[in-house]
Amino acid sequence: MVKIAVTAESADEARVSISPDTVKKLVALGCEVYVETGAGMRSRFSDDQLKQQGATIVQTATEALSGADVLLKVRRPSTEEFSSLKTGAVVAAMVAPHDDRTGLEAAAKSGASIFSMEFMPRITRAQSMDVLSSQANLAGYKAVVDAASMFDQAMPMMMTAAGTVPAAKTFIMGVGVAGLQAIATARRLGSIVTATDVRPATKEQVQSLGAKFIAIEDEEFKQAQTAAGYAKPMSEAYQKKQAELVANHIKNQDVVITTALIPGRPAPRLISRAMVESMKPGAVIIDLAAERGGNCELTKAGEIVDHGGVRIAGPLNLPGTVPVNASSLYAKNLLTFLQLMIDKDGAGLKIDWEDEIIKGTLVARDGAIVHPALAPKEG
């Protein structure tokens, strides 16, 4: 029988790697699920609820980990957790593989097979395992809700006997998964929404959500999407034209949500200090790229900066502020991923090391870091 362990996350992480729903499904697959007491509490999954679905609640992380075949986590497990695992155990988590290389090497030495959910290939078959999408969607939603609550005015237009309240103007920069949900949420709140991106495919998506698309649509823009569906870094000439367009537009905006990212690079700088200074006091910028250096020059990761009355927030873990949904979706992503590995009768793990999804997410195996994206750089 496959033994699955779930331990509590650190104090700054409210999400958890299972839900009552996924416990039930894992048990139905023939697995045993051991959960450290209280691990689901911050996602409102009580020990009792998990127990009702078939989980075994244990008092300590060590008890959960002892003899486990699989450890499911949100963040990278601690050194102690890795050392409590048996050799060859499977670990699936958002391990932030580019961070803390020394820690990752030590984790690899435990002999665990470590899977990084952030490396999930963006192919149709893996869509239901795509943690970046499931979490970015919630981040896009929450960014707008937080902006609306920080904003000193109402979002929708209201025509009342005492006068008219104008609709807020919201500008979304970067229209990937988070940006699309931000557009939809801002529209639902009654805001007038504009959006920009460098990938031509986003134009129609923006318009279909009832927002206005603005961008420099030159020859470079037409080629700006990679085969994998991501944005390319843009040339200096393009960035200059884009900055002029943004400068003209942003000064009239009330709320700006930035989500622009380029894989493996620092976030593109889209909002300069001068642009912030052109905005009205009371305007709000939420920079979802804060962790990767920020899309705004004045962003400070994890803080809210007030610059002449314009507030710039650089939240670090927005999905973690809607933990009930974020955990449910993340747990579902993990369940679908695990189903690839669990033998049909639940008797054991049967991993096809050649599977594109397994290969794409496997960071470490047999004591060494094995993912090509983590190979030491030459020279």
Binding site for ligand NAD (CB under 6 A): 122-124, 126-127, 130, 132-133, 136, 173-179, 196-199, 202, 229-231, 234, 259-263, 268, 270
Q: Return all residues near 155 (Cβ < 8 A) that are at least 6 apart.
A: 148, 167, 168, 170, 186, 189, 190, 191, 255
Active site residue 230: yes
Q: How far is the CB of 27 from ligand NAD (least distance, A)?
A: 28
- The catalytically annotated residue of 49, 75, 187, 230 is 230
Active site residue 53: no
Nearer residue to ligand NAD within complex by CB, 94 or 270: 270
Return the closest-CA partner of residue 92 out of 66, 60, 111, 70.
Answer: 70
Q: How far is the CB of 215 from ligand NAD (least distance, A)?
A: 8
- The catalytically annotated residue of 43, 53, 76, 130 is 130
- The catalytically annotated residue of 127, 207, 235, 339 is 127
Residue whose Cβ sits closest to ligand NAD = 176
- The catalytically annotated residue of 19, 84, 133, 242 is 133
Active site residue 127: yes
Nearer residue to ligand NAD within complex by CB, 111 or 319: 319
Nearer residue to ligand NAD within complex by CB, 9 or 130: 130
65 contacts 86 by C-beta, under 8 angstroms: no
Q: How far is the CB of 199 from ligand NAD (least distance, A)?
A: 4
User: Token pair of 66, please?
Assistant: 């002892």
258 contacts 296 by C-beta, under 8 angstroms: yes
Q: How far is the CB of 148 from ligand NAD (least distance, A)?
A: 21
Any bridge partners for residue 257, and if so which? 172, 286
Q: Kindly report the CA angle at 39 between 134 and 108, in degrees rounded to 5?
A: 70
Active site residue 207: no
76 contacts 102 by C-beta, under 8 angstroms: no
Q: How far apart are CA 202 and CA 293, in angstroms?
A: 23
CB atoms within 10 A of CB 120: 21
Q: How far is the CB of 205 from ligand NAD (least distance, A)?
A: 8
Nearer residue to ligand NAD within complex by CB, 106 or 274: 274
Helix (H, G, I), strand (E, B) or coil at 243: helix
331 contacts 324 by C-beta, under 8 angstroms: no
Nearer residue to ligand NAD within complex by CB, 123 or 274: 123
Active site residue 133: yes
> Which residues are catalytically annotated?
122, 127, 130, 133, 230
